[in-house]
Structure 1
Amino acid sequence: MEEEPSTSCGKKRSFPKELLDKMDDTDAKLPRIAATPAVLNDNQKRYLVVGICLQSVISPALRKYVVPILTSLYEELTLREKIDTPTFSTHYQPTYTFLNYENINNNKATYGYQKAKYDYTVKSVVDLSKLFLQIHMTHYTGFDETCDLSALLGLIINIVGKFPTTVISYAKNVRGVRNEWAHSDFTKWDAVKYSDSFKLMTDLVKNLCLSSTEESQTLLEIEKWEINGTSSLNDTNEICRLLHVLVKSVKHIANESETEIKESHVISSFFAEVVGYSGKSTHTIK
């Protein structure tokens, strides 16, 4: 019997092998197989465009915003609380927020629930960030593509006192968009929901205090996707290019909760159908 996959923190979770195989197979087929444009109805096109914008525009913008704030917090706590030494502090003192030390230093895998034996040394700003998240959200190794939108939004929402209340409010709104996207109920993605989702993403970016150049470029990208995104999905090559991005996102979702594993199965099945996984499409990209 195969051993169940485990997270980087040692928490085991049973992932359906057929789901992960299907996502890998779908990703492998994308460069070679294109969809018949008619397979996508308007709701499905809107769904795909929102997903692309969340992953390829909003996530990078949040990384630029979050990292300097967390870096400053790490330096502050290193000086004041000596968190880079093996001290024991179960809470973030300014707000008495519980800190999840099981998420770092392989503590959960090594010691289980014997928390007195944990290594409480916070060795980096990445380690610090993981203390504020649930264990299933801490698979990232740096503030790069491995740190997905769910984790970034969670950091803004959970580290109370370090982010403006307006940003937290808008982050919660965008998290709602992201969660509904993960549920993959295409019937909900009508023109109104599409427009509302882009407004919420725009509102968040406008409050991130990015440089004027970065903010302008990000808002321009959001506008481009909102206006032109669905029409670009009439091109079979473009469909496959965009699905590459979203298949990677689905793999991140599959590493989250049990409910989201089921949801990612629905998304992956949809992607597979779009690229002709079921044999409906025969067009080949040159």
Structure 2
Amino acid sequence: MTEKAQHDPRNKHHDDDLPVHADTGQPGLTSEMSPQPDHGEDSYVGSGKLQGKRALITGGDSGIGRAVALAYAREGADVAIGYLPEEQEDAEASAALIREAGQKPALCPRDLTEEGAAEDVVRTTVEELGGLDIVVLNAAYQRARTDFADTPMPEVERVFGTNLVSHIAVAQAAVPHLEPGASIITTTSIQAAGPAPPLFDYAMTKAAQVAFTEVLATELGTQGIRVNAVAPGPIWTPLIPATGFPEEKVQEFGQDTPTGRPGQPAELAGAYVYLASEQASYTSGAVIPVTGGKPFTGG
């Protein structure tokens, strides 16, 4: 009799308080984190769900983006990753995982808030991978705000530029290359449904991403292109210690979920694989919450 592969989600991963973690500063690198995130290096097993596909993942160098890149490669896809030039160390590590899976990586170091960057990243992807079938809009920026009135407008503009404007620009550049059956996936957040004051501008962009997903799904559905989103809860990625939270908040990160712990990037990969696969052929305009039990009721 085969042993049942079932684990208690409360203790499947690190379930104690995280160590005190000082602010690492933006953009945040995996090497600066303790404990190291789990991207599925030792656990994700592919089954050919994305065989022959070509994917672009913005923010694919670390965290959720790296976990998705690893899963896509193990499912048979070639993967291009967009990232900031200062994240080259993490990007090379993601590329190594893609190669180890027997797939081709493409590296696209650009700040997507710069003029023409989105077009360059899409062009590089299409040239190096020979086409484009899956677009994951995952690049994000957040900083903890101590007071709404004192938040500098350039900071707000950076959040909106990274989390919204760059997503629109990448999608606009990508759509002409997408054929029927292609998929666009946005990374929104539990903040879209339950915004926290220290992340008010980040939460605003995540709620707007839900509307963006629904509108784009309506428009592109007539072309046979599906558009969906994943809404992570508290996930242990380099973004968290780089946000400027108080040390005690980082130490208690994710403890307020029903499962009592933060999620790991590997625990989101399956949602992105499903949405990009033929199994989701009738799924469009949807948001899949991966929140450790925190309610998600929309944006």
TM-score by length of 1: 0.29
TM-score by length of 2: 0.28
Looking at CA atoms only, which structure, 1 or 2, has the larger radius of gyration? 1
Q: Which has the higher helix share?
A: 1
For CA contacts below 8 A with separation 6 or more, give which structure has more relative contact order.
Answer: 1
